[in-house]
Amino acid sequence: MSLSLRLEVDLDKIKYNAAKVVELCHNRGIAVLGVTKGFSAIPQIVIALREGGVDGLADARMENIFELRNEGCLESITLLRIPRLSNVDNVVKYCNVSVNSEVAVIQALGQAAKKMGVDHQIILMVDVGDLREGIMIENVLDTVRKVVRVEGIRLVGLGTNMGCFGGILPEYSNLNVLVNLGKMIEARLGVPMEVLSGGGTSSLLLVERGEIPPGINQLRIGEGILLGTDTTNHRIIDWLKNDAFVLKAEVIEVKLKPSVPIGNIGRDAFGNIPEFTDVGIRNKAIVALGKQDAYIEGLIPVDKGITILGASSDHTILDITDTTSKIHVGDELAFHVTYSGLLSVSQSRYVKKVFRKDKIWSN
């Protein structure tokens, strides 16, 4: 196998994770949308999600959705980012469902849908505390009254998002707000709420504990399936595989060097003033991997004796003093990726993607 900078992807582990998440959620009456944005909708990984039994796909980027459709994907696709007013035609053409919070955009989606002779389904997003997208709770009923009058639009339910901006954790109480709003809409306006979409991976813990409110019937899962982690709750999900993605980079220098640079310190190449602690002479390695390739803060050395000291555009500097491994120029070092790391390396044209399925590697 070539020693080029590469992301190794174990498709069987992703399929396994998808199947386990789907099983857990289906036992609670909850559908699972497989979120593809974390890996830029790479087709091989999308297939693994589908083989794992997800109920539909979801992405925040229209570019990814275009590629999914061009690859022949016929599954239901939900647009997770509230649509741009300038892009409503594409949203209606390529997406079955979109999440929305602006009446003006919903009206434009309705006009586009009427021109195409279709009904576009929407989920109305409600802000229950995270302060990203969504209608404030007190304005939901009035907004629904306006939305149901829009021709070409079918309001299928309510949704919410947590943990992405404000870091608010999903709880029974804030998700139950969505359930109660759904009941109120049905009782007062006679509009059935088929979907109550209760967030993403951060809501999975409530499902595991049996604490998710009855009525929540959809989750949008990306990180949990892909990495077996839950960043918002700061945990590794121990019943899932955590190593489906491994980034490998070649060592291009190994030398003993001081721990503090010599001379007057100014700003680095990115305008920051670096700080250093003097811990003496250290054994250091450089790998052919830099900030142009990946979000370095989203990488974790597989070897726990290795520490990432920092990076420039093309080089990542490692402290290898404490590892028991003998590291030489030409060796490869492996890194786990966090969700932020996966976002960056999946779309980097400098990182080769290599896939493993049934113990066979392929490009």
Report, as residue numbers or ranges, the catalytic residues: 37
Q: Which of 204, 199, 105 is nearest to 150 (CA)?
A: 105
What is the residue-wise DSSP string for 240-298? S-S-SEEEEEEEEEEEEEESS-SS-----TTS---------EEEEEEES--TTTS-GGG
Q: Return phi, psi of residue 258, to 5°.
A: -65, 160
* AA identity, residue 196: L
**Residue 62 and residue 86 in contact, taking contact as beta carbons nearer than 8 Å:** no
Cross-strand partners of 282:
257
Cross-strand partners of 235:
230
CA dist 7 and 353 (Å) reads 5
CA dist 57 and 225 (Å) reads 13
Angle at 12 between CA 8 and CA 15, to 5 degrees: 115
Please report which residue ranges of the chain form alpha helices under DSSP H: 11-26, 43-51, 62-70, 88-94, 103-116, 140-147, 172-189, 204-209, 223-227, 339-346
**DSSP-assigned letter for residue 201:** G
CA dist 63 and 93 (Å) reads 13
Task: Report in angstroms the alpha-carbon separations of 147 from 101, 109, 152, 205, 241.
Answer: 10, 11, 10, 33, 42
* AA identity, residue 330: G
Among all chains, which residue has been given the structure tokens 């696709």? 77
Radius of gyration of the chain (CA): 23
Q: Which of 193, 264, 203 is nearest to 233 (CA)?
A: 203
